[in-house]
């Protein structure tokens, strides 16, 4: 195999689309393995999707639910990226800017979760009361 897939010490560009995809999938695997919050949000997403099937929601409602789910997951990815980059730069030292960066990244997740909760309430509350 000559796609850079075996080269664990690769630092240059990926040589093929398959090699890029392989590294991207490893990134997702790392998220699942190391990030407890990402796993939690993914579990909630699965529950919401099962519940949505059970409630037989409409296509437009599915689009909003999926948008909310992906907004939270992407916010979680950005949060993890910020944490990794900050740790790479400052290591274990206390740094005020590092704190601000990590707190803002975590705030982004909270904003996405608020959006998801609002979407969920708008879609499911009326259906539950009917």
Ligand X SMILES: Nc1ncnc2c1ncn2[C@@H]1O[C@H](COP(=O)(O)OP(=O)(O)OP(=O)(O)O)[C@@H](O)[C@H]1O
Phi/psi at 19 (5° precision): -65, -40
The single residue among 94, 126, 129, 130 that binds ligand X, judged by CB under 6 A, is: 94
Nearer to ligand X, 11 or 88 (CB): 88
Catalytic residue among 75, 76, 79, 98: 76
The answer to whether 102 is annotated as binding is yes
Token duo for residue 100: 């601000």
The single residue among 19, 52, 79, 112 that binds ligand X, judged by CB under 6 A, is: 79
Q: Are 81 and 52 in contact (CB under 8 A)?
A: no
Nearest one of 47, 67, 50, 62 to 112, comparing CA atoms: 67
The answer to whether 96 is annotated as binding is no
Token duo for residue 9: 């010490």
Number of residues that bind ligand X (CB under 6 A): 12
User: Contact letters (x/-) for ligand X, 39-78, by CB under 6 A?
Assistant: ----------------------------------------
Nearest one of 44, 117, 22, 27 to 80, comparing CA atoms: 27
Q: Are 69 and 116 in contact (CB under 8 A)?
A: yes
User: Which part of the chain contacts ligand X (CB under 6 A), choosing from 10-18, 67-75, 92-100, 118-126?
Assistant: 92-100
What residues make contact with ligand X under the rule CB under 6 A? 37, 79, 83, 90, 93-95, 98-99, 102-103, 106
């Amino acid at each position: 195999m000559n796609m850079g897939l075996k080269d664990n010490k690769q630092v240059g560009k990926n040589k093929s689309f398959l090699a890029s995809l392989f590294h991207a999938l490893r990134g997702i695997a790392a998220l699942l393995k190391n990030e407890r919050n990402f796993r939690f949000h993914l579990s909630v997403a699965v529950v919401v999707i099962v519940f949505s099937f059970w409630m037989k929601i409409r296509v437009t409602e599915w689009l909003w639910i999926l948008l909310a789910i992906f907004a939270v997951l992407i916010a979680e990815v950005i949060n993890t990226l910020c944490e990794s980059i900050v740790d790479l730069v400052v290591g274990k030292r206390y740094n005020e800017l590092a704190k601000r960066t990590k707190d803002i990244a975590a705030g982004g997740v909270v904003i996405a979760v608020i959006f998801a909760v609002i979407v969920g309430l708008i879609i499911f509350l009326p259906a539950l009361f009917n």
